[in-house]
Amino acid sequence: MSRILTLQINEHTVQVPEGKTILEAAELNGIKIPTLCAWKDLSPFGACRMCVVEVDGMRGFPAACTTPALDRMVVRTTTPQLDELRREVLALILSEHPSGCLLCGKDSDCQESMGTIRKVGVTTGCRNCPKDHQCELQDVVESLDCLEQTHALHYRMYRVEREDPFYDRDYNLCILCGRCVRVCQDVRLASTLAFLNKGRRTAIGPAFGRSHVEAGCEFCGACVSACPTGALAERARKWQGVPEKTVQTTCALCGLGCALDVHVCGGEVIGAEAAEGAHVCVKGRFALPELLNNPDRLLKPYRWVSKHRQQVGWEIALQTAVERLAACPPEGFALRMGADCTTEDLYVGQKFTRQVLHSEWVETPIGAFYGGSLETYLSLYRYVLPFEALEEADAVLAVGLDTRLNRSVVGVSLKRALENGARLFTFHPLPHNLTRHASKWFQAQPGELAALLGDLDVLQGAHKPVILLGPHYLHTDAAADIFSAIAQLAQQTGAGLLTLPAQANLLGALAVGAFPRRALPKMDWNTLYLAGAVAMPGEQAEYTIFQSFVQPPAGQPADLALPSAAFSEVDGSLVAGDGQVRLLHQVVSPPGEALPHWQIFCELAKRLGADGFNYTSAADIRAEIGIIGGKELLERASELQLPAWESTAEGEKRYPLLPLYAPGEFTYQDLPLTTWVKGLEAFLDGRGE
Amino acid sequence: MNNLDVFRSRAVEEWQTLQSSPVPVIYFGTASCGRAAGAMQVMEAVRNLLAERGWQAKMVEVGCIGPCYLEPLMDIAFPGKPRLSYANMTSARAVQILTAWFEHGDFSLRFATGHFGEPQAFGANVPNFYDLPVMKAQVRVVLRNCGLIDPGSLAHYLARDGYRGLEQALAGSPEDALKTVMASGLRGRGGAGFPTAKKWELCRMAGGETRYLVCNADEGDPGAFMNRSLIEGDPHALLEGMLIAAYTIGAQHGYIYTRAEYPLAIERLYAAIAQAKEAGLLGENILGSGFGFDVTLKEGAGAFVCGEETALLASIEGRRGMPRSRPPFPAVKGLFGKPTVINNVETLATVPNIFRQGAEWYRQFGTPQNPGTKTFSLVGKVRRSGLIEAPLGATLRQIIFDIGGGTLKPFKAVQTGGPSGGCLSEKHLDMPVDYESLNAAGSIMGSGGLIVMDEDTCVVDVARYFLEFTQNESCGKCAPCRLGTARLVEILDRIVQGEGNLADLDRLESLARTVKQGSLCGLGQSAPNPVLTTLRYFREEYQAHIQEKYCPAAVCKDLYALTISDDCTGCQLCVRVCPTGAITGEKGAIQTLNRSACIQCRGCIDVCKFNAVIGIPSSRQPEKCAAVEVLL
């Protein structure tokens, strides 16, 4: 219990807990002190000198952001001298910051005439700052009424850096507040950015003349979020203006389920950032606008009639589907669902298959992800911890993991654990980003790993060991042995386990039983129904219904295409890789005529005369499923009837689950994300997994 | 009899053997300054001579005794005679002197500068070295061994009562040691003059087991070399001071942060640390006291700002050398978050003397508020430049004129405290040099740089030079320092180019005030001092630059033209140095200077013995481009 201190700030007597700075004490009590370099939880820096205050008994003008609040301190935040000093320092900052946006007398005329010709308008005139009206420097200038420039203006002539994907860097706009450097070093523990040079040549960038990639940049975009000016700007969001609203939801681009603040303008997603206190990776931070606003999105149902694509309304589309399904024999129907579907979608999908079509063939890519080792994977599940447990670990085994890009969020927690003194042991056949942090790197080939893990003694004496299961060994033939070895190790050492699936909702699919419970002979399908992230079938199907938020791949037309909503357009839930339920919130309405998967299934079921599909919301469905996360999921999973082994021609035993997607890291809806998000290509140049 | 006593008795023996050597002992001042002046070549020549002729002599390398203007110095102790000092040595002269003695027993007294024996040891013509004007007004406490002992020898240090202070301190409790320092009134020699005992006490009172002691040897002021000379001349004095400080505050580990540009100092420190370890003066259970202490040497990359204590700590921790705000003060939360005392080299090297001789003895020097002595590097347009030590409270006049011998041309200004200090004028010459007086005059003590200027120095140019230095060395963290100094330099640039206006003076003052008040660390807070003090004491010179477009010191190239006055004797020395042939005339007659050929290199001013080359206001208008004029 910390002591409560009493301070006097201006005329107010305020009380704050011990250990706060003057700035925090003022903010806690609603007293505003201008500042540029203090931001959220970043450590105090004291660089911009905007927050200078007067304190009785202290010499000069201490910065409120770095000076600890003390009992009986008397602080003044606005005096003529302070305002004068702030204005003078601000004038100095503006002497090297292009400030047409503040000082130009024609600013309002300019804005009016720009609304008309959007394509060129944004780059004509002088409004070439992407953060106009979202700029903290503008706010401070306005609050201090500092609109007169007395110094000679100095343009630093830095080249605008556009060589890396996702965000542009115009350090001519930089005010060197150091927020990007601190967020990179202290929050993301990446240390890609640093202060360079000194004196008037002080700049920001990777040290020693390296490129961002060479310096280990994970493109998490934390620096972009931290930048108070337009120096760092997201390319996709650059001219989109101020967001109209921001909605928090869960990122469904992988199985970590990170909390995401999604920004909306004009009914479109324009960008996303990590929610308060959360981290995101390159995908969550930058991929959304390109992915969701892509011209390839499926907006209306269509059917394929005599070699022609015929766009139809929902009524006709549903009618077409009902006619087909009513005539389909149970053994001739299969539903394949992507693991990106919400738990509610998956539940309704399997219910639709079993109760309406009387088929057992409902499939999800569980088998593909865990190879032939679903059973052993499930046996691992009892050791799974919430992701937050990683930071507390004192010894970590990272198996087949590189945390550079789309697992950078795990990397942050891992580095935090290492900072707290944990030891790291990595298992990877190839060089990876964790080697420099590792006490030891076991360069194990897949065939050697199980034996190596069996003899491992490095976790002895660890109180909170954690095993991180990365993707590298999952798709190999040795996966089952490796899973067994890990399970054994976890049992022997009491280690917790974190599986980091690439798919958003694998565990949700498991929990609601969205897979066949008995082996069936493989056959030619009468009707194949694809929903969500699944590939077009390679095998024979008389009729294909394709239900997705994007067009089917070129050259592989579906007989009937139904537009579904993407994850940001629905309410629902996911079961993340740590077994915890994460909620999705609708950020924008689905574009065109797209509907959530579950709603389409319900419409079809009702038209096929089935009962029990009268849900009005995802919450209705969730109520029917019951609780499916955490321990309950484990209980449920242990009750699952796993499908029987099936002998293949080669004599191997495999689960009768089809590889519904090709293993890869940058996929969504089964297609490589790079199809839509061009910047991710850069990572595939030998840098991705 | 403990280990140290064994070492000491051997040391005394060794020292006495050296003093009573049957062959000449030749001492070479081979600190960095001596080496720059050619001491190594002299030593090489002597070594070759001895080898060639088969003459027996001992050669000893010593540190710098101080007077730069006498470098390189070679001392010879001829058998049965006190040490005799020869200044401005060259290889040829060294050979000449030695040959004269070996062949004729001649001391070559005409080359001797001083001796270290009884008065009249060499007759009336050779004074005692300490009676030379440059030495006479000095009080040598910290520098007592510099130039006299071999800095690479622990024995020499021990023979001169080295580590007696440590023994004294270890004989009492840390509290007693603190009391001794408190009684001495010692103030930090790094700049601000914070009471050393108070800093140590703060650190002692801070909680936790681990404490650090850091020695700030990151001497970055242009023209300052006190710390380098001290380390190169007497490294064990620093180690002994650190041991006493560590014992007092309870530190287990110490760092010496010095710059990689000081290779010789680093070499000598490493050697001293190794010797101290061997003698049991560093490590566990020092001298059987149960107190353990170890020292790590950290080489910085030479950023000026790393002399600021919080930036220095960041640099030791492996981070970018950028200052952070205080509080918390390092004494409470310093290196790696632990209580840390940071003291300057001179502060720490002073401590052993206080313990060896007692606080009362120390207080006899200086003034009640400013006890003790202070080293200064006295440089610039002064006759006798060098490293000197004077009691605090001595006047600038005593230092510059008595010790330094004054200036060749009339004295104009003195910059104290390095680039962050102030430029003081003639009217301050009788001001005592102590922390308070310097602050009141708008300057600082700093680490002890004294740059003397005569009337050939333009104070506007000096202010611009120092501002440019601090601007380049600003770490760039806080806005007022990074940007304010840049804008100040720009205004000063305009003024020295003749493009200033009177409003610039107000702008300079208000901007300087903003930088002073707004900056995060001492670098920014003191960076405008040169501008503020020159504006205060030499405003008319700024006005001349602005209103008359004239630089009275003939420094700012756009603002003067050279001419030759009636004082010219026609010696034609200037004709010989002029690189463009701009000066012509008959020998013995007044010369003529062709301004259109003159490139203002000032070579003629420097060589003229009659001050006949003078600057006058330039009548030349700013040149316009001919093409532009046609267009207009």
Torsion of CA B149, B154, B159, B165, to 10 degrees: 110
- Count Cβ–Cβ pairs < 8 Å, chain A vs chain B: 104
pTM of the model: 0.90
Q: Chain A: residue nearest B525 by CA?
A: A60
Kind of pairing between the strands at A203-206 and A193-196: antiparallel
Element (DSSP H or E) covering residue A414: helix A408-419
Q: Chain A: residue nearest B477 by CA?
A: A47
Positive or negative torsion for Cα B150, B153, B157, B160:
negative
User: What is the per-residue pLDDT across A402-451, written as a single tens digit (0 to 9) for each?
Assistant: 888 778 999 999 999 999 999 999 999 988 889 989 999 999 998 999 99
**What average pLDDT score do residues A111-138 get?**
65
Examine the pLDDT at A118 and tell me if it is beyond 70.
Answer: no
Peptide bond just before B72 cis, omega within 30 deg: yes
Lowest mean pLDDT among A112-116, A158-162, A678-682, B247-251: A112-116
Kind of pairing between the strands at B449-454 and B373-380: parallel
Lowest mean pLDDT among A214-223, A512-521, B250-259, B537-546: A512-521
ipTM above 0.95, yes or no: no
A92, A184, A195, A208: which to substitute to probe chain B, counting the most B Cβ within 10 Å?
A92
Nearest to B134 by CA among B342, B359, B383: B383
Residue with the larger pLDDT of the pair B432 and B622: B432
A674 confidence band (pLDDT: 50, 70, 90): low
Residue with the larger pLDDT of the pair A505 and A517: A505
B304, B317, B319, B325: which to substitute to probe chain A, counting the most A Cβ within 10 Å?
B325
User: What is the per-residue pLDDT across B88-98, written as a single tens digit (0 to 9) for each?
Assistant: 999 999 999 99
Residue A544 has a pLDDT of: 92
Residue A659 has a pLDDT of: 42
The token pair that represents A598 in the structure block: 């579950």
B519 interfaces chain A, CB cutoff of 8 Å: yes
Rounded to the nearest angstrom, the minimum Cα separation between A459 and chain B is 29
Examine the pLDDT at A660 and tell me if it is beyond 80.
Answer: no
Neighbours of A163 (CB within 10 A): 11
Lowest mean pLDDT among A302-306, A452-456, A537-541, B456-460: A537-541
Residue with the larger pLDDT of the pair A662 and A23: A23
Judged by CB atoms closer than 8 Å, whether chains meet at B484 and A92 is answered as: yes
Q: In DSSP terms, which residues pair with A426 in a beta bridge?
A: A398, A441
Nearest to B58 by CA among B25, B86, B19: B25
Give the phi and the psi of residue A561 in degrees, each rounded to 5: -115, 130
Residue A519 has a pLDDT of: 58
Examine the pLDDT at A116 and tell me if it is beyond 60.
Answer: no
Report in angstroms the alpha-carbon separations of A168 from A162, A164, A673, B149.
Answer: 5, 7, 21, 62
Task: Decide: helix, strand or coil at residue A97.
Answer: coil
Which of A52, A67, A152 is the closest to B327 by Cβ? A67
Tokens 């967001």 appear where? A243
Element (DSSP H or E) covering residue B326: none
% of chain B surpassing 70 pLDDT? 97
Mean pLDDT of chain B: 93
The token pair that represents B344 in the structure block: 């300057």
Examine the pLDDT at B111 and tell me if it is beyond 70.
Answer: yes
* Contacts of residue A235, Cβ cutoff 8 Å, sequence gap at least 6: A165, A166, A167, A168, A679
CB B555 within 8 A of CB B458: yes
Residue B143 has a pLDDT of: 96
Largest CA distance in chain A: 89
User: What is the per-residue pLDDT across A459-488, written as a single tens digit (0 to 9) for each?
Assistant: 888 899 999 988 888 777 787 788 889 989
Examine the pLDDT at B272 and tell me if it is beyond 60.
Answer: yes
**What average pLDDT score do residues B351-367 get?**
96
B24 confidence band (pLDDT: 50, 70, 90): very high
Report in angstroms the alpha-carbon separations of A407 from A289, A468, B563.
Answer: 20, 11, 75
Examine the pLDDT at A662 and tell me if it is beyond 80.
Answer: no
Residue A107 has a pLDDT of: 66
Peptide bond just before B328 cis, omega within 30 deg: yes
User: What is the per-residue pLDDT across B397-420, written as a single tens digit (0 to 9) for each?
Assistant: 999 999 999 998 999 999 999 898
State the DSSP string of B389-408: EEETT-BHHIIIIIIT---S
A522 confidence band (pLDDT: 50, 70, 90): low
Residue A366 has a pLDDT of: 67
A501 confidence band (pLDDT: 50, 70, 90): confident
Judged by CB atoms closer than 8 Å, whether chains meet at B479 and A93 is answered as: yes
Angle, CA of B483, B488 and B491, to the nearest 5°: 130
A97 interfaces chain B, CB cutoff of 8 Å: no
**What average pLDDT score do residues A557-573 get?**
93
Which of A47, A68, A195 is the closest to B479 by Cβ? A47
CB A134 within 8 A of CB A228: no
Residue A112 has a pLDDT of: 62
User: What is the per-residue pLDDT across B553-584, written as a single tens digit (0 to 9) for each?
Assistant: 999 999 999 999 999 999 999 999 999 999 99
Judged by CB atoms closer than 8 Å, whether chains meet at A46 and B324 is answered as: yes
CB B385 within 8 A of CB B451: no
Residue A164 has a pLDDT of: 85
